A and B are shown apart, each in its own frame.
Chain A
Amino acid sequence: MPLALAVLGLLFVALSIASLRLGARPVAFSTLRDAFLHYDPGMTDHIVVRQYRLPRTILCLLCGAAFGTAGALIQASTRNPLADPGILGVNAGAAFAVILAVGVLSFGSITAYVWFALAGAAMAGLLVYMIGASAGGATPARLLLSGVAISAVLGGIGSSVTLLDPQAFDSLRHWQVGTVAGRNLAVAATVAPFIVAGLLLALIAAPALNTAALGDDTARALGLNLSRLRIIVIVSVTLLAGAATAATGPISFIGLMMPYAARWIAGSDQRKVIPLTMLCSVNLLLAADIAGRFLIYPDELDAGIVVAFLGAPVLVMLARSARTKAL
């Protein structure tokens, strides 16, 4: 565990620097330093670093951690290793609200629809929880089923809106890919408080999640307040997935994949799994974004696609390996 943390930490530092330096216009170390210490708005390199690569790197950090942690929380709390924010309807809620904002209310800028995405994610998350819990207890299967149902309804209504409105379709197909490019620092600043709050809640919930993993009855017998835990998880997932989806578009693969990697390293103790998931996810998104700048040079591949193409083989491998625990 300490070794894994050290390796992942070092990797994070290296990747952050690489993300600031590399791209269609590589920047030397000294220029990179100057861009932060002696910023000169007349220098193109400085502008590239400060205006384009810095927001991108910060978004990778924030959203990577957010997507990964949201996935880890959902997988732990529903005891379903297949769950991710996409399946629980949170991404669909965010996407639906963005479709409404762009298609029906004609909002254009990302800073405006961040709020819609958050509200949409929160509504979908709450709705899923309320319907899932309506039997007197939110069992994993019921939560998943209501998540599937809600995302389906929202997705259906959403695509009928976009199919009838070419302009909304056009702006949404750009958002729907999932990318950290082309956003400014204001976007990162808008979503940062939500994501940080969500991450803190996740860390707070980790020990209780371990108890909950013993089964509802045992956990109750040990004095765990299950409904409070579930509410904390829902709030945290909503903040994380809603804010991150608003900023980058849906990149749901991280949340599905990285908790597997973390469990593969650390077993099933959530106090280790959740921080490890955060680190792994940030590194993954950074690496994906950097790779995307070169893979089809001079064009750029969006981070969401690179993540998916990197992640799928890893997930297949993890599923095949005997060490993967069914949670």
Chain B
Amino acid sequence: MKTLIHRSPARGSNAGQKVSFRIRARTLAVCLALAALLIALAFFSLAAGRFDTGMADVFNALSGQAAGKTRMIVLEWRLPRTLLVALLGAALGLGGAIFQSLTRNPLGSPDIIGFAAGSHTGALVVLLLFSGGYYATAFGALGGGIVTAALVYVLAGTTGQQGFRLIVVGIGISAMLSAFNAWMIRKADLEMAMGAAFWAAGSLNGLGFEQLRPAVMLFCLLCLPLAALARPMRQMELGDDVALASGVAQRRTRGLLMLLGVALTALATATAGPISFIALCAPQIARRLVGASGVGLFTPALTGAVLLVLADTAAQHAFGRQLPVGIMTISVGGLYLLWLLIREGRR
């Protein structure tokens, strides 16, 4: 079942130090299946739409053989959106995986430590008090979310029972902000409030290359330090004492990981509005697919991308009218989690 892959370091580096990866066959199979599913879904989302293009057209367009309208629709309209959706899904899956690992709790997610509520507050303030546009709202959401998450982190303190405390403080601050949000929506006039509610539902409509480029750059920038922190993260999952014994600089690592998790979630929120549940759901689904308690980071990222592409395709095409994707993620993600729970119960 398990394969052990040893890789010797380049000659001349620290003698005798071996880097070893242990990859379970099932993990590998799951990742490959997820990747295949993601590609299939992406092709479907490139082909589907009001201007019906066949799979053959999509292939032609991608290989540069299509011309005119087909090319424009597939490459310029649909491709950036599909890529962006997959990217944001991966970012959310990563954010969730980081937080569930840090809090050692299946309910730990950036949403729970107050990021979602904070970014909603930020966006509402910009939308309702200053009637800001797309970028101003994105900025407000980013600011609100990051300030809230930082506040929660500081308030949770730095000694003992970190994960537990972080979640409790996060729930407290979130609840406070949600009440404030509900009140702001009640005070605003109906049209403005509806607009804010649409933003809050998370929508990917109208996003293109303009948003894709900075998103890709930021995503890559965030993944580099994350790759370096993946190993200490796994060690901290084993408990504070184990991490201490294996020499992990816990305080710094935790702070950095938290920052990365928030930044990854912020990336998605700023681009598309709050897309809930992917961060909470993807690591859980990945864990069940892989059949192990620690899933690392890659599988949750892939799972998140698959989920978001699926949800976005459904939100666009399944109901005759375009619904905000956040509503879909919440429903699809919730149903899937329910199905998993029921299936687990039958076994």
B179 lies within 8 A of A315 (CB): no
- Residue on B nearest A83 in the bound complex, by CB: B107
A interface with B by C-beta (< 8 Å): 81-82, 87, 131-136, 141-142, 144-146, 148-153, 155-157, 159-160, 162-163, 166, 169-170, 173-174, 176-178, 252-253, 256-257, 301-302, 304-305, 307-309, 311-313, 315-316, 318-320, 326
Query: With the chains together, A76 CA to B198 CA distance in Å?
Result: 37
Interface string of B326-347 (1 = CB under 8 A from A): 1111110111011001101110
Is the CB–CB distance between A319 and B341 below 8 Å? no
**A interface footprint on B82-108 (CB within 8 Å = 1, 0 otherwise):** 000000000000000000000000110
Proximity string of chain B (160-176) to chain A, C-beta cutoff 8 Å, 1 when within and 0 when not: 01001101110111011
- Give complex CA distance A129, B150 in Å: 36
The 8 closest A-B CB pairs, nearest first, are: A134-B345, A152-B334, A156-B330, A156-B331, A308-B179, A153-B334, A315-B172, A312-B176
29 contacts between A and B (CB under 8 A): A82-B107, A82-B168, A87-B107, A131-B342, A145-B337, A148-B337, A149-B335, A149-B338, A150-B334, A152-B330, A152-B331, A155-B330, A157-B327, A160-B323, A163-B327, A166-B190, A176-B182, A177-B179, A304-B179, A305-B182, A308-B175, A308-B179, A312-B172, A312-B173, A315-B169, A316-B172, A320-B165, A326-B161, A326-B164
Q: Are B171 and A82 closer than 8 Å at their CB atoms?
A: yes
Report the Cα distance A148→B201, complex, angstroms: 18
Which residues of B in the span 165-200 have a Cβ within 8 Å of any Cβ on A?
165, 167-169, 171-173, 175-176, 178-180, 182-183, 185-186, 190, 193-194, 197-198
Complex contacts, B171 vs chain A, CB 8 Å? 82, 256, 315
CA distance A301 to B187 in the complex (A): 11
Rounded to whole Å, the gap between the CB of B200 and the closest CB of chain A is: 8
Known: A308-B178, A312-B176. A149 touches B341 (CB 8 A): yes
The reply to whether A156 and B328 contact each other, CB–CB distance below 8 Å, is yes
B323 partner residues in chain A, CB cutoff 8 A: 160, 163
Quick check: is B156 within 8 A (CB to CB) of the other chain? yes
How far, in Å, is B133 (CB) from chain A's closest CB?
Answer: 20
- Which residue in B169, B193, B280 is a CB contact (below 8 Å) of A169? B193
Q: Is the CB of A309 within 8 A of B182?
A: no
With the chains together, A145 CA to B287 CA distance in Å?
A: 14
Known contacts: A148-B107, A316-B172. The answer to whether A307 contacts B179 by CB under 8 A is: yes
Residues of A within 8 A of B338 (CB): 131, 146, 149-150, 153
Judged by DSSP, the binding face of A is helix
**In the complex, chain B residues whose CB is within 8 Å of the CB of A157:** 327, 331
Contact A132 B197 (CB under 8 A): no
Question: With an 8 A cutoff between CB atoms, is B155 at the interface?
Answer: yes
For A313, what are the chain B residues with a Cβ–Cβ distance below 8 Å?
A: 172
B157 sits at the interface (CB 8 A)? yes
Instruction: Give chain A nearest CB distance to B112 CB in angstroms.
Output: 9
B164 contacts across to A, CB distance below 8 A: 319, 326
What B residues does A131 contact at CB under 8 A?
Answer: 338, 341-342, 345
Contact-residue size bin, chain B (C-beta under 8 Å from the other chain):
35 or more
- Would A163 and B175 count as touching, CB distance under 8 A? no
Which parts of B249-277 form the interface with A (CB within 8 Å)? 276-277
Bound CA span A81–B327, Å: 29
In Å, the complex CA distance between A30 and B262 comes to 57
CA distance A87 to B197 in the complex (A): 22
**Pick from B167, B185, B333: contact of A82, CB under 8 Å:** B167
- Nearest CB to that of B329 among chain A residues? A156
Q: Are A252 and B331 in contact (CB under 8 A)?
A: no
Closest CB in chain B relative to A276 CB, distance in Å: 20
Q: Given contact pairs A136-B345, A320-B165, enumerate 20 new A-B contacts (beta carbons under 8 Å).
A: A82-B168, A131-B338, A134-B346, A135-B345, A146-B338, A149-B338, A151-B334, A152-B330, A152-B337, A156-B334, A160-B323, A163-B324, A163-B327, A170-B193, A309-B176, A311-B172, A313-B172, A318-B168, A319-B165, A320-B156
Q: A149-B338, A150-B334, A170-B190 are in contact. Are A311 and B197 (CB under 8 A)?
A: no
Q: Which residues of A contact B182 (CB under 8 A)?
A: 173, 176-178, 304-305
Give the residue among B107, B175, B185, B324 with the most A Cβ atoms within 10 A. B175
B324 to chain A, nearest CB (A): 7
Q: How far is the CA of A124 from the CA of B131 in the complex (A)?
A: 38
Nearest B residue to A304 by beta-carbon distance?
B179
CB neighbours (8 Å) of A307 from chain B are: 179
* In contact, A319 and B179 (Cβ under 8 angstroms): no
Contact A162 B333 (CB under 8 A): no
Decide: B327 and A156 in contact? CB cutoff 8 A.
yes
Contact A309–B331 (Cβ < 8 Å): no
Shortest Cβ distance from A247 into chain B, in angstroms? 17
Distance (Å) between the CB of B197 and the closest chain A CB?
6
Chain B 312-330 interface residues, beta-carbon cutoff 8 Å to A: 323-324, 326-330
Bound complex: CA A309 to CA B172 (Å): 9
Q: B166 to chain A: closest CB distance in Å?
A: 9
Write the nearest CB–CB distance from B129 to chain A, whole angstroms.
15
Which B residue sits closest to A86, measured CB to CB?
Answer: B175
Q: Is the CB of B341 within 8 A of A142?
A: yes
Inter-chain contacts of A316 with B (CB < 8 A):
155, 168-169, 172-173
Q: Which of B161, B183, B194, B345 contacts A177 (CB 8 A)?
A: B183
Could you say which residues of chain A place their CB within 8 Å of the CB of B178? 308
